[in-house]
């Protein structure tokens, strides 16, 4: 197949599986090798500085991420997809019941809507593998394997890295896409795009200005320890008082730096959650409810720990009453430790 024919085929295949855009990179691409080496140095320094907080898995995965040729020894090419999973779509659905008007609320990031993006991305890449043919050996990666997904996406010309370290694509008004990589054993023609961005990130910096915790600073690596998404999802230990203040009213994730990669959303696409419902509904029932949702990664105990933090900051009588109930009923050591921490 000629390069032009493959370019057309890839565009059609990407649209067929529901992707937003696609690129194909040869694993012997010299720019890819150069960018991997450069990124390894940056990530190594970031890890040594401890800016990853409790995300120890990033240290464990570093060796595999730093050498994709060893991690995927069979691979001759990699196809990179971006997909939206309806992130930012006000009509996107989620499994959480609507809260009563007088409910004590916490919020979940808008990206945790629809079916978990990991599952959707894997399904897309699986369908793409089928379209490539039966004799193709391939391995898919969607945010859980040792892959620099954003790096591959930028080498493929699908977008640029914004100030918040997320991929910003040229033909959407925000950064809200996910990335999947399909490593294949075939030497496919390269499909490298040229992202024509409507404006440069350095001319905007809205995401940096909007960050409420100063986790994002211009020209500096992100300090994950100050990031609300990290604090609510990845930090599995007790939040101290300062961290508790940092998370605002978030239970899972944060949308502050994504909704302002202009323009700002016209509607609030966060997911409101009734804290009383979250704390009093049987855990097994909650686990079934969130099983195919992105919040399953955090789990019920983590969500409830964060709910306790939000209640402790509230001065409403209903919050105190709910905390008293937690004190009497919780069987979780982590939740109890959070309750008594400050």
Residues belonging to the active site: 143
**Distance from C-alpha of 306 to C-alpha of 284, rounded to nearest angstrom:** 18
- CB-CB neighbours of 133 under 10 Å: 9
Spell 214-231 as b/e; 16+ CB within 10 A means b. Answer: ebbeeeeebbbbbbbbbb
Q: Which of 306, 286, 304 is nearest to 296 (CA)?
A: 286
Phi-psi region at 97: left, alpha or beta (left = phi > 0; alpha = psi -120 to 50):
beta
Task: Return the HEC string of 297-338.
Answer: HCCHHHHHHHHHHHHHHCCCHHHHHHHHHHHHHCCCHHHHHH
Q: What's CA 126's distance to the chain center, in Å?
A: 20
Q: Which of 231, 109, 242 is nearest to 176 (CA)?
A: 109
- DSSP state for residue 231 in the 8-state scheme: I
Would you say how long the chain is, in residues?
Answer: 342
**Distance from C-alpha of 179 to C-alpha of 243, rounded to nearest angstrom:** 30
Peptide bond into 263 cis (omega under 30): yes
- DSSP state for residue 120 in the 8-state scheme: H
Q: Which of 119, 117, 135, 112 is nearest to 269 (CA)?
A: 112
**Distance from C-alpha of 336 to C-alpha of 327, rounded to nearest angstrom:** 7
């Amino acid at each position: 197949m000629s390069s032009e024919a493959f370019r057309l085929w890839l565009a059609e295949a990407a649209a067929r599986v529901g992707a937003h855009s696609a690129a194909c990179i040869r694993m012997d691409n010299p720019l890819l090798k150069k960018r991997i080496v450069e990124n390894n140095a940056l990530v190594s320094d970031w890890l040594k500085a401890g800016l990853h907080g409790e995300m120890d898995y990033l240290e464990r995965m570093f060796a595999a991420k730093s050498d994709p040729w060893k991690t995927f020894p069979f691979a001759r090419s990699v196809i990179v997809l971006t997909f939206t999973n309806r992130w930012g779509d006000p009509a996107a659905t989620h499994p959480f019941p609507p809260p009563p008007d007088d409910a004590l609320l916490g919020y979940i990031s808008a990206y945790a809507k629809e079916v978990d993006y990991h599952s959707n991305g894997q399904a897309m890449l699986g369908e793409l593998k089928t379209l490539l043919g039966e004799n193709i050996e391939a391995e898919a990666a969607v945010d859980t394997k040792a892959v620099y997904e954003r790096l591959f996406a930028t080498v493929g010309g699908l977008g640029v890295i914004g100030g918040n370290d997320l991929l910003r694509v040229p033909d959407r008004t925000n950064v809200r896409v996910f990335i999947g990589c399909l490593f294949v054993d075939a030497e496919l023609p390269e499909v490298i795009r040229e992202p024509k961005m409507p404006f440069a990130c350095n001319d905007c910096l809205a995401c940096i200005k909007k960050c409420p915790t100063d986790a994002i600073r211009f020209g500096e690596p992100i300090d994950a320890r100050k990031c609300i998404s990290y604090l609510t999802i990845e930090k599995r230990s007790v939040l101290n008082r300062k961290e508790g203040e940092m998370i605002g009213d978030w239970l899972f994730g944060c949308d502050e730096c994504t909704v302002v990669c202009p323009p700002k959303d016209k509607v609030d696409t966060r997911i409101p959650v009734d804290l009383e419902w979250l704390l009093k509904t049987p855990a097994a029932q909650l686990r079934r409810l969130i099983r195919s949702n992105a919040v399953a990664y955090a789990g019920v105990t983590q969500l409830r720990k964060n709910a306790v933090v939000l209640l402790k900051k509230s001065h409403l009588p209903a919050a105190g009453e709910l905390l008293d109930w937690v004190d009497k009923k919780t069987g979780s050591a982590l939740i109890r430790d959070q309750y008594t921490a400050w």
